[in-house]
Amino acid sequence: MVTMHRRPRRLIILGATGSIGRSTADLVAGNPDFEVEAVVGGSDAVALASMARRLKARHAAISDETALGALREGLAGSGISCAAGEAGVVEAAQRPCDMVIAAIVGIAGLKPTFAALQQGRTIALANKECMVSAGEAFMAQAAAQGVPLLPMDSEHNAIFQALNGRDASDVEQMVLTASGGPFLNWSAAAIDEADVAAALAHPNWSMGRKITIDSAGLMNKGLELIEAQALFRINPEKLDVVVHPQSVVHGMVSFSDGSVVAGLSVPDMRTPIAHCLGYPERLTTSCKRLDLAALGGLTFARPDHGRFPALQLAMDVMKTGQGLPTVLNAANELAVAAFLDCRIKFGDIARLVANACEAALRHGEAKTPQTLAEALAVDHVARERFATP
């Protein structure tokens, strides 16, 4: 499948049992160009043990300490070592390797990803919460180590490829596309009352539950704008979103001479994952190829901020900066969890996140967190203060 003539690239996969983790495994399993040092997961010991065996990993670490026995049982006779708890997860992330796939969901991804970065590892970054909550800390650490943060999020991956190693100084505009999600043509009242099943029914992408809910309200696109601002060091005024229901164009960069370079592919995360796995070379994959003539047409529209208030909220937060992106992320994680538990309505997500941002402004949390510890402290306060109705 792949033709890279050098020693295998050694990987650590954080979030190996999730949607990104499994897509990564599809590209790596049985592929002699890769070997897997460690796999890391949250609480599903059976799935993690089976992934460790499938990838012939040397080590497996699980966050939930109570799952260690089950993990050990699942790995019995395999020769794969294991560990549990936050310390076990961080230790696994620091093992020797060539590249760390950062695909844990949410704030739990920050410490292990940062620990890997401190070891000077190249990071293939799926976890957008790292850049939203602690963008300054991650960018400073990557610069200090002289290692790249390779964006795996499809929009950022497209933009990264469009920039082709140049910085953003002669960029006039950066556009992220949004599919519009399952509520693209729903009324504001229907979106407000939407149930969990409807919000999880994404038309184009199959992803973990948290990001799928984020996508339904366009909060995901808001998080991605903040991620893009942090990653590409671009003025927020130059960032924009276009609704593109086919999810074929993922991101576009307009340059000062009027040229526009866009990144296209079928909506399958294995394509941006493969780009990161092979970087700076190209892997050969069996991913479905784009056939524009078969598609017939691509459409684009402006987002409707009236029906999708989370996007405007995130844009305002991005422009304000300071500690607000960290607060937005923390409140959003708690609100999405409450929605998934059927404790709040879909429309409450954006309202509660807005309240949390206003409360943070009232309390004068004006400083941009510069270090991981500062970001986690702002995150902690925002979570303590968060209140559901």
Q: Given the rule CB under 6 A, which of 12-20, 69-77, 194-202, 247-255 is the region that contacts ligand NAD?
A: 12-20
Q: To the nearest whole angstrom, how small is the minimum distance from the Cβ of residue 162 to ligand NAD? A: 18
Q: Which is nearer to ligand NAD, 57 or 108 (CB)?
A: 108
Contacts of 308 (CB under 8 A, 6+ apart): 183, 191, 217, 218
Residue 205 or 255 having the CB closest to ligand NAD: 205
H/E stretch holding 323: none
Characterise 20 by phi-psi region: left (phi > 0), alpha (psi -120 to 50), beta (else): alpha
CB-based contact 256:12 (threshold 8 Å): no
Q: Interface residues for ligand NAD in 198-217 (CB under 6 A)?
A: 205, 207-208, 211
Radius of gyration of the chain (CA): 20
Report the C-alpha gap between 358 and 361 in whole angstroms.
Answer: 5
104 binds ligand NAD (CB under 6 A): yes
Positions 113 through 172 that interact with ligand NAD (CB under 6 A): 126-129, 153
Interface ranges with Mg ion (CB under 5 A): 153-155
Q: Is 216 exposed, middle or buried (0-12, 13-18, 19+ CB in 10 A)?
A: buried
Helix (H, G, I), strand (E, B) or coil at 10: strand
* 251 near ligand NAD, rule: CB under 6 A: no
Q: Is 317 in the site for ligand NAD (CB under 6 A)?
A: no
Classify 207 in phi/psi space as left (phi over 0), alpha (psi -120 to 50) or beta. beta
**Pattern of binders to ligand NAD over 17-36, x per CB under 6 A?**
xxxxx---------------
By CB under 6 A, the residues from 255 to 274 that bind ligand NAD are 269
Question: Checking DSSP bridges between strand 149-151 and strand 171-178, what pairing results, if any?
Answer: unpaired
> Pick from ligand NAD, Mg ion, none: which does 129 bind, CB < 5 to 8 A by kind?
ligand NAD
307 near ligand NAD (CB under 6 A): no
Q: Which is nearer to ligand NAD, 103 or 134 (CB)?
A: 103
Q: Report the residue number whose CB is nearest to ligand NAD.
A: 18
Q: Taking CB under 6 A as the rule, does residue 57 contact ligand NAD?
A: no
Please check whether residue 198 is in contact with residue 182, taking contact to mean a CB–CB distance below 8 angstroms. yes
Interface residue list for ligand NAD (CB under 6 A): 15-21, 40-42, 63, 89, 103-105, 108, 126-129, 153, 205, 207-208, 211, 269
